[in-house]
Structure 1
């Protein structure tokens, strides 16, 4: 086999890749050394802006197979028949840390899934928790600022973390999840994934349902204690990436079973709490889990940067039969996720192989921009409607319309009869074993005791007291003991 020839970016052969061109032996480097300048300039640009959140990630390809008939709830083609398989790409991530952080830390995990369907790509973005810290997207930048590195000290500050939570009582439920045993998954394979948000499914008859997605790991739940997490993070910052890569390379393909909770749209208005509140779960006794299919990961990316770092997910990538709900956090993310990728990767990021449709082709009138590759055929029109057989609208909505009424303006979420920021946090606490409660309290107290302002500590303690009397007392006693040391 002939030796491959090293070339410049323009394809010209490189004569010497070991020595820069100079003005004589030992002389200064020449500006005319095009290969050197191109090589250094490209090296300077190898990094793109990292994600503000979910920066540190791992991913793999696989497939989703339908195992149960759900056509009574949705007309989505990739869910249309038992046995149908759809190629997928799943990106896992931590949330708060930077690209250089460790995997084995106490943090929610992103669970972003791309289905390459025959009707276009469907993106489902979620976490390994069924709830989140806030319920309105206008609070999201402030929340993330409170969790990231402080501008002055350059590190995460307990004062910032807990001060924000002191002013966000709705966060109590997610704090209980995060500080509990599942706060540090042992690996990406050993955790559940959740759509978290409420979505809409619409069947072929136009009937609308609201749904929540639950991906249950078939490997079983495994988590790390705070001590185990700290030890593993120190030994191997890439522990979860290593585990995922090696498992798939060995042929031990991780899998999850997808279940959904289904609520007829007509029941949403009178449900006892707001079903579109991201800080709450739907009790399974109200809406039982219904099995849909199986997700399997069976192929590692060839290039982590090209396929994991450049993977772009947006919850506004729907397909016919699936659409949004009035979930305010989801509504905000419909814009924010896609816009983040336009900033990081450019307006043509959807043409990158990991983001482009695989089972169909994109056909629209978007044009030009940085790194455009979708050159139109000679003479093709770039406007719509036209008289030249260009792509045309279908007239078929992806999902059922949502009824709206009232006056425009800034409104708090509508209150349902049993809406409460603390009840579900208390329910979760009461489900825990005694040992789980002890670890939860210790994890919370370890952070809250570092807060320097007494009023911030008291505000947070009030939230745990409101969730459960025993919960609040234990946290208060543990915080007091640590602060007196």
Structure 2
């Protein structure tokens, strides 16, 4: 018996020969029964997933975030509330405009996306190496990205497209200035800063809200190159940043960043000289100083690029309790567009892939879809439900309402309404024969449910009209205790009509 592991098909069947196709004679045609060959070719045809529309080319690594200053006065996020606490992270760097084949050293904005695997769920901070962006309204985003891609006729990058758009959108000037400064050409991913760019929110245990911005300051020092150096580097190594990051970690030179935040109160936001949620603006450090909260270190390379970097999925909509969005318009649009893009690009269950999977228990009612691993087992796939073992809401994590002018954005109770009068009115316009048929039809369907469910539903019928409840109860051959009926009225004092 061989000492090595046997080569197998994807279903685990041993393969005796993996170099020669099954043919009719040595020179004959291939046979359709060569299922090993078919499996290999069929999988090869499907090895690629759609590349990201932006941030297509990237590099990634695992690491840790260590708290150096706890900030419970600003946020109830558990991973930020104890000095020395460590949280595993995955960070993906990228170029923004170029396709997967773009050179790492091109002049471009760099993506800086961090996934924190916190004990209360993942947090995705999907930022760049610049503190601002080209636009402040998401309506312009798709059109802006078109200008950074290729001309629809020539399929070439086009200066007219780029500068036509920029010259008609002066809000881009701040980002343009950064892009064409030295910082538009970082020497490597290790030698650049990262920013959350958007304004986000902190909420503390007392329900107080603060606005915040995140900064990642490279501890290797900011290093940039000239345009000539960039061109020369691209000529000899199109993967220069990928190579530098991987090899630095492999030899134990772990890159790190000091994580800092700016904090603004809601009152200060009301008097800030600019819109504090404008993505094209920064908050002056003199007015809102940077506060160090931790150190982020990258110390482990992925084992498989495709599985762990290409399939890594970041969505700005992923927040643990204590961190949340802001009225930033571009951020608001990204809350929808990013997870939608991941479901298109990878599949509806992209969160079940190891690189995206939270490191804490996951309990929800989303089921099925491509590539599902069978999450949820035999538990209910709907909510609300009456199963004690099924996951329930956690109202202690409710965030305070957000005042927006004359209105408050909040989760208003849509269940606190009269749900019985109109149903009772409809019942009362039916004649006796119609009422009997309706009761019998309901009993035929409701009779298959557990008795406690039947009784709960009967309470609703009685609240709409006592006759309604009696007829359904009779059709179910159930005797109704008037004391139970009176108690149900006390529990939910909506109309009960005789």
Q: TM-score range by the shorter chain?
A: 0.7 to 0.9
Kindly state the Cα deviation for residue 374 of structure 1 after the two structures are TM-superposed: 3.3
Q: Please state whether the residue corresponding to 1:75 is helix, strand or coil.
A: coil
Q: 1:206 to 1:126 in 2, by over 3 A?
A: same
1:322 touches 1:399 (CA, 8 Å); kept in 2? no
Q: Please state whether the residue corresponding to 1:280 is helix, strand or coil.
A: coil
1:201 touches 1:399 (CA, 8 Å); kept in 2? no
- Corresponding residue of 1:255: 256
Q: Which runs of 5+ in 2 are unaligned?
A: 408-498
Distance in 2 (CA, whole Å) between partners of 1:228 and 1:301 is 29
Aligned-pair RMSD on alpha carbons? 1.2
Deviations 1:422-467 (A, max 9, x none): xxxxxxxxxxxxxxxxxxxxxxxxxxxxxxxxxxxxxxxxxxxxxx
Q: 1:269 to 1:165 in 2, by over 3 A?
A: same
- Corresponding residue of 2:156: 155
Q: Please state whether the residue corresponding to 1:396 is helix, strand or coil.
A: helix
Q: Please state whether the residue corresponding to 1:268 is helix, strand or coil.
A: helix
Kindly state the Cα deviation for residue 15 of structure 1 after the two structures are TM-superposed: 2.0
Higher alpha-carbon Rg:
2
- Corresponding residue of 2:343: 342
1:321 touches 1:398 (CA, 8 Å); kept in 2? no
1:120 touches 1:319 (CA, 8 Å); kept in 2? yes
- Corresponding residue of 2:64: 63
Q: 1:245 to 1:398 in 2, by over 3 A?
A: farther
Kindly state the Cα deviation for residue 241 of structure 1 after the two structures are TM-superposed: 0.4
Is 1:228 the counterpart of 2:229? The answer is yes
1:427-446 correspondence runs (5 A): none
Distance in 2 (CA, whole Å) between partners of 1:271 and 1:401 is 21
Distance in 2 (CA, whole Å) between partners of 1:218 and 1:400 is 37
Q: Please state whether the residue corresponding to 2:213 is helix, strand or coil.
A: strand
1:395-414 correspondence runs (5 A): 395-397=395-397, 399-405=399-405
- Corresponding residue of 2:125: 124
Q: TM-score, normalised by structure 2?
A: 0.80
Q: 1:326 to 1:263 in 2, by over 3 A?
A: same
Deviations 1:295-353 (A, max 9, x none): 00000000010000000001110011111100001001001111110000001000000
Kindly state the Cα deviation for residue 35 of structure 1 after the two structures are TM-superposed: 0.7
Kindly state the Cα deviation for residue 373 of structure 1 after the two structures are TM-superposed: 0.6
Q: Please state whether the residue corresponding to 2:403 is helix, strand or coil.
A: coil
- Corresponding residue of 2:382: 383
- Corresponding residue of 1:413: none
Distance in 2 (CA, whole Å) between partners of 1:245 and 1:391 is 41
Distance in 2 (CA, whole Å) between partners of 1:191 and 1:261 is 19
Q: Please state whether the residue corresponding to 1:36 is helix, strand or coil.
A: helix
Kindly state the Cα deviation for residue 381 of structure 1 after the two structures are TM-superposed: 1.4
- Corresponding residue of 1:324: 325
Q: TM-score, normalised by structure 1?
A: 0.82
- Corresponding residue of 1:178: 179
- Corresponding residue of 1:414: none
1:185 touches 1:224 (CA, 8 Å); kept in 2? yes
Kindly state the Cα deviation for residue 398 of structure 1 after the two structures are TM-superposed: 5.5
Q: Please state whether the residue corresponding to 1:266 is helix, strand or coil.
A: helix
Q: How many residues align?
A: 405
Distance in 2 (CA, whole Å) between partners of 1:181 and 1:81 is 38
Q: Please state whether the residue corresponding to 2:21 is helix, strand or coil.
A: coil
Distance in 2 (CA, whole Å) between partners of 1:398 and 1:96 is 38
Distance in 2 (CA, whole Å) between partners of 1:121 and 1:175 is 32
- Corresponding residue of 2:81: 80
Kindly state the Cα deviation for residue 265 of structure 1 after the two structures are TM-superposed: 1.3
Kindly state the Cα deviation for residue 376 of structure 1 after the two structures are TM-superposed: 2.7
Distance in 1 (CA, whole Å) between partners of 2:401 and 2:24 is 71
Is 1:289 the counterpart of 2:306? The answer is no
Distance in 1 (CA, whole Å) between partners of 2:136 and 2:235 is 34
Kindly state the Cα deviation for residue 406 of structure 1 after the two structures are TM-superposed: 6.1
Distance in 1 (CA, whole Å) between partners of 2:176 and 2:279 is 13
1:213 touches 1:258 (CA, 8 Å); kept in 2? yes
1:319 touches 1:398 (CA, 8 Å); kept in 2? no
1:137 touches 1:328 (CA, 8 Å); kept in 2? yes
Distance in 1 (CA, whole Å) between partners of 2:315 and 2:243 is 26
- Corresponding residue of 1:429: none
Kindly state the Cα deviation for residue 169 of structure 1 after the two structures are TM-superposed: 0.7
Q: Please state whether the residue corresponding to 2:242 is helix, strand or coil.
A: helix
Distance in 1 (CA, whole Å) between partners of 2:163 and 2:230 is 22
Is 1:372 the counterpart of 2:359? The answer is no
More displaced stretch, 114-123 vs 385-394: 385-394
Deviations 1:240-289 (A, max 9, x none): 00000000011000000011111011211221110100001111111011
Distance in 2 (CA, whole Å) between partners of 1:188 and 1:351 is 28
Kindly state the Cα deviation for residue 396 of structure 1 after the two structures are TM-superposed: 3.2
Ranked by relative contact order (alpha carbons within 8 Å, sequence separation 6 or more), the top structure is 1
Ranges of 4+ aligned residues in structure 1 off by more than 3 Å: 396-400
- Corresponding residue of 1:482: none
1:193-208 correspondence runs (5 A): 193-208=194-209
Distance in 2 (CA, whole Å) between partners of 1:260 and 1:398 is 23
Is 1:97 the counterpart of 2:102? The answer is no
More displaced stretch, 387-396 vs 285-294: 387-396
Distance in 2 (CA, whole Å) between partners of 1:188 and 1:374 is 38
Kindly state the Cα deviation for residue 375 of structure 1 after the two structures are TM-superposed: 3.4
